[in-house]
A and B are shown apart, each in its own frame.
Chain A
Amino acid sequence: MPESSAPRFIRGLRRILVGYRRLPIKAKVGIAILSVYILVAIIGPWLAPYDPNATTTQAVPEGPTLHHLFGTSATGGDVLSQILIGTRATVILGLATGVIATTLSVLVGTAAGYLGGYADEALSLLANIFLVMPVLPLLVVILGYLPHTGEVPTAIVLSALGWAWGARVMRAQTMSLRNRDFVLAAREVGERPWRIIVFELMPNQIGLIAASFVGTVFYAILTSVALAFLGITNFSDWNYGDILYWAQSGSAVNLGAWWWYVFPGVTVAVLGMSLVLINFGLDELSNPRLRSSRATRKLGRRSWRPADPTPVVRNYVEGML
């Protein structure tokens, strides 16, 4: 039926909106901020008022003016344009790493938790080794050897090194689900292990997968910005770290050119904050005890003793990333 497609689409949209409205306020704010970044990642290059690579004859960075809202670099590049254009590379790198690493951690974690025995021992050992590896030094060494550093190798290396934490959390959750009735029933019916993992276990871990994804994106963005800041990047297209790298190598701090590093730095920090807020919200969603309501705030002022019996849900979820 041709008419039903439009209402169904609208119904779907409405369901998303209702779901959004039920989220804790922290998650709402985080999602709103993140949406702005994703929007800028899409349309940023058309919004940029200047060519970010433009150079003028000036020799000093110029402070914020009406022409250059965020000031300019020492060579006259417009910082605002650099940020608007650089958003795309940073956001794509973060999301791509999040998708790859989360897929890996879900597969490894769920398999280890469900299969148990030697498979579990081996996979857990692998995850634990990756957990204690100092990631940034290893990244610096690997990317130092690679002749071409850029987004693709960085995303691959970041994913290869960033899946272990998520896998650990997924494994713990799977082990608690493994002996539930619906899983036992599926096994009794004769479902194959991969089918049980994908269709029975994973839908029950959506919240955890989401939290793991957000945490990985956060890690990927901060690490990639740090790498670019160190100059381990290709400078052919802009990202946040590149701007900060040029600010540092142009001794912006010593010159007092605060706009050159404060604007891109705050841009990264706000992006990171939006992800942290989303994860706080997801945490509160799964653990009502963490919610700070107006009532507990009132109690706090009256030196409320925490041992007072309070009606709370008893299952604490250890899932703070």
Chain B
Amino acid sequence: MAFIARRLAFYVAAVWAAVTINFVIPRVMPGNAVTSALSRFQNLTPQVVKALEIEFGFHPKGSLLTQYLQYWNSVLHFNLGVSTSQYPTHVSTIIGETLPWTLALVGVATVLSFAIGTLLGVYAAWRRGGWLDRALPGLTLLQATPYFFLALLLIYLFAIKLGWLPFGQGYSLGLSPGFNWAFISSAITHSILPALTIIATSVGGWMLQMRNVMLTTISEDYILVAQAKGLSGRRVMFTYGARNAVLPNIAGFALSLGYVVAGALVMEIVFSYPGVGFTLYNAVTSNDYPLMQGIFLVISLAVLSASLLADIVYAIADPRARTRSAF
């Protein structure tokens, strides 16, 4: 249990850091956030300006410490303030509307990419020097391609040239979100291209790491013993080889989530997908600081919880992790 306790301590520290960063950034940054945020409202009387500024929380009262405690209090109550660009909608309402889109798309695409990459890595190592193994450098080089560039190419090819798939937005115009087939099928076809982009750029990394660890694992003696016992190749490959070799990949999964979210951010902007990334981008371009902060906080917390989940899976998969302290 030392492992779990240590990781829990880490998550407490990480959550504290995320909230604190969010508190500190607007207070140390130069530039007048108030005027740029209020510039969208025309012809305001000074009293109205004052009232709006108080509502947006631009003039916090009290010492820095009380402000900090107040900020924690409002974070714990999911009170993230009012959006300046979509006044008077609450930031938490906007996030509640956009987060499911991102979670569904990025979550499914990431899990798919991880599963496909790991499986391909197992096969590439098992058939060392085979065609899959030789194709690996090509696949990893796909990683060197910027997300958005690949997205633009896919849009051009599948949406404009061939006209097979729609792009932009999360569903066709004229439909309203709900549990009906027209909406769900539209949402699915709209998510194919974004998901494909995420998978194409990330699958190579999982595959390479799995293949490299698997190569080391399958030269262990117990693999030889398993084969000598006459177990089927499939059983040796998965139960004896892959089960042990997958551990670094799971650990890597927990760590890479931050990067996954980053890639998804760019993807959402290219596809105008109605998720948190696109909303964050709109918040930045319209100087909507409360929304920016709220989204960043939610993204960090989402990454941390996913990472915690991966840690728990790791502890289940690797008995050693439960007793030994892991970095």
What is A's interface to B at a CB cutoff of 8 Å? 26, 124-125, 128-129, 131-138, 140-142, 144-147, 168, 171-172, 218, 222-223, 225-226, 229-232, 244, 248, 253-254, 256, 258, 261-262, 265, 268-269, 271-273, 275-277, 280, 287, 289-290, 292, 296-301, 303-307, 309-310, 312, 316, 318, 320
Closest 5 CB pairs of A and B: A300-B129, A272-B144, A136-B262, A265-B149, A145-B29
A254 touches B129 (CB 8 A): no
What residues of chain B lie closer than 8 Å to A297, measured between beta carbons? 129, 134
A318 touches B262 (CB 8 A): no
What residues of chain A lie closer than 8 Å to B258, measured between beta carbons? 131-135
B129 touches A145 (CB 8 A): no
Q: In the assembly, what is the distance between CA of A125 and CA of B255, in Å?
A: 13
Residues of A contacting B: mostly = helix
Which of A132, A261, A304 has a CB less than 8 Å from the CB of B149? A261
Q: In the assembly, what is the distance between CA of A168 and CA of B326, in Å?
A: 12
**B113 CB, min distance to chain A CBs, angstroms:** 17
Q: In the assembly, what is the distance between CA of A138 and CA of B218, in Å?
A: 41
Knowing A140-B281, A307-B227, say if A226 contacts B144 (CB, 8 Å): no
Knowing A134-B300, A253-B156, say if A229 contacts B216 (CB, 8 Å): no
Which of B143, B277, B304 has a CB less than 8 Å from the CB of A132? B304
B266 touches A136 (CB 8 A): yes
**A170 CB, min distance to chain B CBs, angstroms:** 12
B30 touches A147 (CB 8 A): yes
Q: In the assembly, what is the distance between CA of A290 and CA of B266, in Å?
A: 33
B296 touches A138 (CB 8 A): yes
Task: Tell me if B14 is interfacial: C-beta within 8 Å of chain A.
Answer: yes
Which of B46-54, B120-128, B178-186 is the contact stretch? Answer: B120-128
What residues of chain A lie closer than 8 Å to B4, measured between beta carbons? none
Q: In the assembly, what is the distance between CA of A53 and CA of B319, in Å?
A: 61
What residues of chain A lie closer than 8 Å to B126, measured between beta carbons? 306
Which of B14, B25, B287, B300 has a CB less than 8 Å from the CB of A128? B14
Q: In the assembly, what is the distance between CA of A134 and CA of B306, in Å?
A: 12
A261 touches B212 (CB 8 A): no
A131 closest partner in B (C-beta): B255
**A272 CB, min distance to chain B CBs, angstroms:** 3
Q: In the assembly, what is the distance between CA of A147 and CA of B155, in Å?
A: 34
Knowing A128-B10, A147-B31, say if A268 contacts B146 (CB, 8 Å): yes
Q: In the assembly, what is the distance between CA of A253 and CA of B14, in Å?
A: 41
Task: Tell me if B192 is interfacial: C-beta within 8 Å of chain A.
Answer: no
B281 touches A124 (CB 8 A): no
B146 touches A306 (CB 8 A): no
Knowing A145-B25, A307-B219, say if A125 contacts B327 (CB, 8 Å): no
B211 closest partner in A (C-beta): A290
Interface size on B, residues (CB 8 A): 78
A269 touches B284 (CB 8 A): no
What residues of chain B lie closer than 8 Å to A144, measured between beta carbons? 283-284, 287, 292
A280 touches B224 (CB 8 A): no
Residues of B contacting A: mostly = helix
Q: In the assembly, what is the distance between CA of A144 and CA of B287, in Å?
A: 8
**B239 CB, min distance to chain A CBs, angstroms:** 14
Task: Tell me if B103 is interfacial: C-beta within 8 Å of chain A.
Answer: no
B26 touches A307 (CB 8 A): no
B129 touches A304 (CB 8 A): yes
Q: In the assembly, what is the distance between CA of A134 and CA of B277, in Å?
A: 12
Knowing A172-B327, A222-B146, A304-B129, say if A273 contacts B303 (CB, 8 Å): no
Task: Tell me if B198 is interfacial: C-beta within 8 Å of chain A.
Answer: no
A-B contact pairs, 19 of them (CB 8 A): A26-B137, A129-B13, A134-B261, A135-B259, A140-B265, A141-B292, A222-B146, A229-B146, A248-B152, A253-B160, A256-B156, A258-B156, A261-B149, A261-B152, A268-B149, A299-B128, A303-B127, A306-B218, A320-B212
**A121 CB, min distance to chain B CBs, angstroms:** 9
Knowing A137-B261, A138-B296, A300-B128, say if A226 contacts B148 (CB, 8 Å): yes
Task: Tell me if B147 is interfacial: C-beta within 8 Å of chain A.
Answer: yes
**A58 CB, min distance to chain B CBs, angstroms:** 22
Q: In the assembly, what is the distance between CA of A26 and CA of B25, in Å?
A: 43
Knowing A131-B255, A226-B147, say if A320 contacts B262 (CB, 8 Å): no
Chain B 278-292, CB-CB to A under 8 Å as 1, else 0, gives 001101110101001
Which of A232, A253, A271 has a CB less than 8 Å from the CB of B152? A253
B149 closest partner in A (C-beta): A265
A124 touches B327 (CB 8 A): yes
Task: Tell me if B177 is interfacial: C-beta within 8 Å of chain A.
Answer: no
Task: Tell me if B257 is interfacial: C-beta within 8 Å of chain A.
Answer: yes
